[in-house]
Structure 1
C-alpha cells in the first residue's frame, strides 16, 4: 500500500510540473501570434518571420539541450530550476504591456528565452517519466497518462486565464497579470518536485556512454520511424494552434467564445485521455491512435463548413477534436518511450525538436500565405475568410491522412511487447 501511495505521489508531482509547463506553454503558441498582430500592430509577414526564426532556433537547440541533459544527470535538480526560471523570465518579457519596447525585438527575445526554458524543462520531465517507468519495470502509458493529463489541466487553466485576468485588470494588463501568475505557478510546481527529479540510467562512464549514445538510440528498431511520424502528426495541431484565435474571431466572428472554446477543446482532451489509454490496453496503441486521428479528420472537415455565427456547431468541433488530441498526447509519447534503449533524454529532445519544427513551419508559412491570400487580422472580408477556413480546417485533414499512412507501416516489435505498459 505504501509503495502504491508513493508511486501515485511521484506521478502526481510529475503531473503538477506538466500542468505548470503547459500553463506557460499554451500562450507561446496560441495567444502570442494574435497578441502581437492585434495588440502590438505587428504585420503578419513580420510576425511569421520572427516566429519562424525563433522557433527554428528553438528546434535546433533541442538536441544540444538533450545532449547536455544526458551529460549532466547529477545536476538535474539545478537544471530543472534554472529552466523554470528562464521560462518565467521570457514569459514576462513576451507579455508585458504593448507600449513596453519594440515589438519585433521584444517578441524575439521573449520567445528565445521562453522556448529555451520550456525545452530544457520538458526534456527533464520526459526523462524523469522514463526513469520512473524503468524503475517500476514498465508502465510507460501510465506515466504518460499522468503527465499528459496534468498538462491538459494546465492548458485548460491557461485557456481561460487571459480573458478572466483581462476582465479584472483591464485588457492592457491582462497578459502581464497572466505572466506574473505563471511565475507563481512555476514556483509551486518546482517546490513540489524539489529533491524528486530523476534521470534515466546512471551517470555515464565511457562504456555506458557508448551504450546510451544518441546514435544507438536512433538505431533501435522503430525509433527513427516513430520520430518521423511524430513530426508529420504534429503538423495539423501546429496549424490549428497558430490559427485558432484568428479563426474564431475572423470566420466565426465569435471572439468572446474563444476562451470557453479552448477550454472545451482541452478539457475534452483531458477527459478522453484515460479512455484512449484503456482502449489501447485492449486493442493496442497503433489501432487506438489511428481511431483518434480519424476522429480529428472528421472534426476539422466539419469545421470547414462553418461560417459567421456558427458558435454551437464549433463547440462540437472543439469537443470532438479535443477528444482526438487526447489520443495523440497520451499514446504517441508512450509508443516512443517503449522503443527507447538508452539515450532517453536525447531521443526525447529530438522528439521535441520535431514537434517544434512543425510549429515553426505552421507559423512561418501559414501566416505570410494568409496575408497573400487577403487575410488581415481585425478586418476579414469574404476572400480572407475563405483562405482562413481552408488553412485552419482543410490543410490539417490532409496532413492527418498522411500521418495515418505513416502510422500503418510503423515497426511493431516493441509496441507488441509493451502494449499494456
Structure 2
C-alpha cells in the first residue's frame, strides 16, 4: 500500500527516470527542426509537419498506453516492466532517427525521419505514461508528492541541461550528417542510463492496490474529462508546453541568425535550464508556503516577463540576452515543479472518491497533452519561419556565407520571445478555477 513518507533511495530512483524523459523531451525540440531545414534541406513548412505528426500520434496512443498499464498484471507491479521494455526501445529508435543513409534524396530523408520518429514516439508513450502514473500510487501524502517531484524535477533539470548542452556540442564537433549520427548514439546512451536507473531504483517502491477502473477506455476517458480540476490544470500545462516547445526550437536559430554565433546555442540552453538546478527546492518551498496554485502563477509570470525581455536580442549586448534567458530559466523551474506536483493530487482524489485506479488513464491523457504541446511548439515555430520566408539549405558547412531576409530574422526573434510570453499568459486563464489544496487532497 502507499505510505506517507518515501525513502531517499526511492525518491532518487524514481527521479532517475527523468534522465530519459528530460532527454527525449528536450533534444528533439532542439535539434530535429534544424537537422531537417539546415542539413537535409527540407522546407520549413514540411519540416514542421515531420516534427509534429509523430507527436500527434502520441496524443491518440498515450491514453491507450495508460489503459494497458492499468491492467498489466506483473509481480513487479503494473508500471515498472514497461519502463524497461519501452525505455530500451526508445533509445534504439532515437539513434535511428539520425542514422538514415545518405542517398541524395530529400523525399527519402524526410520519409526516414518521419517513420523512425513515429516508432520513437510510440516507445516513449509506453515509457512516459507508466512513469508519470507511479507517484499517485507510491504515496498518499500531499506534501510527500511535492518532495518526490522536487527530486524528479531537480534530476530532470540536470538531465535537460546535460543532454541539451551536449547534443549540439557533439553535433558541431563533426561535419554535416556525421555529427547528427554521433549525437544520436550519445543521446541514446543517456536514455538507457535513465531507463535502467528508474527500473532498478524503484524496485522497492510501494505499489497501490486500488482496483483498476471499470468500463471501456471511452467510459474512463469520459470520467477523466469530467474531473474539473484535472481538466483546468491540463489546459494550463499544455499551453505552457507549447510555449516551451517554441522556445526550444528557436535556440539554434537565434544563436545562428540573431546572435550570429552558432556556438551560442549551448550557452543559451544552459542559461535556460541551469537555474532549475538551484531553484527547484526554492519553488518547492514557495509552494508549501503559499500553495501550489499560487506558486505556479508566480513562476509563470516570471517566465512571461523574461521572455518579453528577449525581444531585445540582437540590439543589446549579448550578456543581457543570456541574463534574460537565465531569468526565463527561473520561471521555467517553477512551471516544471508545480504541475507535476499537482497532477498526482488530482489522480489521488479521483481514486479516493471512486475506489478505482485510473492513474494510467489520467497520466495517459496528461502525457498526451504534454506531447501535443511540445510537438506544436516546434511546428508553430516552423510555421513562423515559413511565414518569414526562411531559406532552408542542405549545405550546413556554408553557414557563415548564407543569409536570411530580414522578415525571417524577425520571425526567429518573435517566435523565441513574444509568442511564448503570450501563450504563457493565456495559459493562466483556466488555472484560475483550480481548487484542490492540501485539505481537499488529504480529506
Tell me the TM-score normalized by structure 1. Answer: 0.89
Q: Out of 239, 251, 254, which is 1:247 matched to?
A: 254
1:87-236, aligned counterparts within 5 Å? 87-96=90-99, 99=102, 102-134=108-140, 139-166=144-171, 172-194=177-199, 196=202, 201-202=208-209, 204=211, 213-236=220-243
Q: Does 1:349 align with 2:356?
A: no
Deviation at 1:354, TM superposition (A): 1.2
Deviation at 1:205, TM superposition (A): 6.1
Q: State the partner residue of 1:406.
A: 430
Check whether the contact 1:252–1:310 (CA below 8 A) recurs between aligned residues: no
Deviation at 1:246, TM superposition (A): 1.3
Q: Does 1:34 align with 2:37?
A: no
Deviation at 1:16, TM superposition (A): 1.6
Task: Specify whether residues 313 and 296 from structure 1 end up closer, same or farther in structure 2 by C-alpha distance, changes over 3 A only.
Answer: same
Report SS of the residue matched to 1:255. coil
Q: State the partner residue of 2:338.
A: 331
- Quote the Cα distance in structure 1 between the aligned partners of 2:388 and 2:182: 35
- Quote the Cα distance in structure 2 between the aligned partners of 1:154 and 1:418: 33
Tell me the TM-score normalized by structure 2. Answer: 0.85
Q: Out of 363, 367, 377, which is 2:378 matched to?
A: 363
The answer for unaligned runs of 5 or more in structure 1 is none
The answer for unaligned runs of 5 or more in structure 2 is 352-357, 393-401
Task: Specify whether residues 216 and 199 from structure 1 end up closer, same or farther in structure 2 by C-alpha distance, changes over 3 A only.
Answer: farther
Deviation at 1:285, TM superposition (A): 1.2
Q: State the partner residue of 2:9.
A: 9
Deviation at 1:112, TM superposition (A): 1.0
Deviation at 1:419, TM superposition (A): 8.8
Check whether the contact 2:63–2:364 (CA below 8 A) recurs between aligned residues: yes
Deviation at 1:48, TM superposition (A): 1.2
Check whether the contact 1:251–1:308 (CA below 8 A) recurs between aligned residues: no
Report SS of the residue matched to 2:7. helix
Q: State the partner residue of 1:417.
A: 439
1:365-384, aligned counterparts within 5 Å? 365-377=380-392, 379-384=403-408
Q: State the partner residue of 1:53.
A: 53
Per-residue deviation, residues 274-305 of structure 1 (Å, max 9, x unmatched): 11100110111121111111111111111012
Report SS of the residue matched to 2:263. helix
Check whether the contact 1:90–1:109 (CA below 8 A) recurs between aligned residues: no
- Quote the Cα distance in structure 2 between the aligned partners of 1:391 and 1:185: 29
- Quote the Cα distance in structure 2 between the aligned partners of 1:20 and 1:172: 24
Q: State the partner residue of 1:299.
A: 306
Check whether the contact 1:28–1:111 (CA below 8 A) recurs between aligned residues: no
Check whether the contact 2:100–2:109 (CA below 8 A) recurs between aligned residues: no
Per-residue deviation, residues 116-170 of structure 1 (Å, max 9, x unmatched): 2222211122122222223x67511111111121111111111222244346555
Q: State the partner residue of 1:85.
A: 88
Deviation at 1:207, TM superposition (A): 6.3
- Quote the Cα distance in structure 2 between the aligned partners of 1:213 and 1:235: 26
